[in-house]
Amino acid sequence: PAGGLPRVRRDEAYEALRTRADAHLAAEGGRPRIFLAALGPAAAHTARASFATNLFQAGGIEAVHEPVTVTAESVAEAFTASGARMACLCSSDKLYAEGAAAVAERLKAAGATRVYLAGRPGAQQEEYERAGVDGYVFAGCDAVEVLSSALDTMGVA
């Protein structure tokens, strides 16, 4: 019948992102990577680390979560060892308020081209951004835009 609704494939945008990441894998021998800087005990960071892992993997970006937990003192070395060029802070709002700014500063000093924070920034947004947080990932964010921008920043064509 004529005049029906157009077909929409909601997966197309994600497939295009994964195609870019797959081409990077073929050319470079590895996927683009993001380092998960998890702060505090597992109970504080697991939910957001899992969310961030799944979000970035949807765009073909490998999340590196080793070591499981970092501190402001250990994050630069762990980030450098990960081979990633970007990082995502993962923890609870309480622990973010206590230490996210210091960790973001150290990640930037260690060469992170972009630092994300998993969750909404709330009242701390200005402080986080002064410290080097470039963006936020959370349920309801524009995932395609976040992933496309991340791949662009990593130089993934």
* Complete domains list, the chain, with CATH: 12-153 (3.40.50.280)
* Cβ atoms within 10 Å of 114's Cβ, excluding its own: 19
Over residues 65-106, the pLDDT tens digits come to 999 999 999 999 999 999 999 999 999 999 999 999 999 999
Nearest to 110 by CA among 136, 134, 75: 75
Cα–Cα nearest to 150, from 79, 85, 105: 85
Q: How confident is the model at residue 1 (pLDDT cuts 50, 70, 90)?
A: low
Residue-wise pLDDT tens digits, 109-122: 999 999 999 999 99
Question: In this predicted model, which residue has the larger pLDDT, 48 or 3?
Answer: 48
Q: How confident is the model at residue 127 (pLDDT cuts 50, 70, 90)?
A: very high
